[in-house]
Amino acid sequence: MNTKEISELRRRFRLDRNAISRIHGCFVNSSHEIVSYIDESMGILPQDEAEKYLNLLKKSLSGKLGKNLIDIVFSSEQVVDSDEHRLLMALRSTELKDSAVREAFYQKIINSLDLGDSNYLILLAHDAYDVPHKNKNDEIDAEASDSVFSYIVCCVCPVKERKVELGFFPGDNEFHSCAGQIVAAPELGFLFPAFDDRAANIYNALFYSRKPDEIHQEVIDSVFHTTAPMSAAEQKNIFDTALTEALDKDCSYDVVQSVHEQIRARIEDHKETHDPEPLELTVSDVGIILANSGVDAGKVEA
């Protein structure tokens, strides 16, 4: 998925634009026990509560591609015959209406997720997007539709204790001490299937992590049974290590500064093109950058 496709879906998470009929989920305590379930009709929820649910789900499609948003790829074998892909497809095909399928999914999250001593809320929703047609000028024709994109979106939100504070109770016309638990922004989440070329791609999912350096591989292993791409922090560390070891004594301040300046320039050029696809550096690109920084050909090859 690219930034345009993600933005197009994010705009769905408004009361007047989505086709989400119900919000499902469960509240899990720090002992990994389900305390209560959520099965709320969006049609009868108070507007402010419905908007809060939508905002939480929307945040699982936020952040930067390659950092907060990670492309999950299934193998052909998984798509043809695997428990993990069957479960995701069942959630989608039943539109989350099968309680046994939902329970099986909840247990996958609960049995794998490590949020320390935090309680948390698992939220699930199904949406059916009547994808409008785009003409040759990339303009949307709201009257024409190419297909319906049926998908599920999930997020996991820590539930935190609120400090005891004074609160006003209108019935008593008095102030009293009050406390409670509040739902924080999602720690992780995902969209399945991916929305590639504005259509469903059951070979991919889009995974969200609030912290780019903590992508919750344990959940990815359990739910998707696959290895995620390296996090942004891991990629940076590996690149820095490779640069230091290969250049050895030639890894001077001037060389490092030149490398960073050239990479920054490529990032700025990429932004100006408004290309929705993320910028990537190939091995050849890195070689050119090092050569332009005055690095010896032998060290560039290393």
For the entire predicted model, the pTM comes to: 0.79
Of 104, 103, 101, 92, which Cα lies nearest the Cα of 128? 92
| Structure confidence at residue 295 as a pLDDT band (50, 70, 90) | confident
Look at residue 234 and tell me whether its pLDDT is greater than 90: no
Residue for token digits 């060389």?
A: 255
| pLDDT, average across residues 276-294 | 85
Residue type, 276: P
Q: CA 235 to CA 248: how far, in whole Å?
A: 20
| Structure confidence at residue 254 as a pLDDT band (50, 70, 90) | confident
Name which of 98-102, 122-126, 179-183 the model is least confident about: 179-183
**Which of the listed ranges 120-129, 143-152, 237-246, 253-262 does the model predict with the highest average pLDDT?**
120-129
| Structure confidence at residue 172 as a pLDDT band (50, 70, 90) | confident
Q: What is the pLDDT of residue 190?
A: 97
| Structure confidence at residue 144 as a pLDDT band (50, 70, 90) | low
Q: What is the pLDDT of residue 253?
A: 85
Distances from the Cα of 84 to the Cα of 19, 81, 89, 96, 113, angstroms: 26, 9, 9, 16, 16
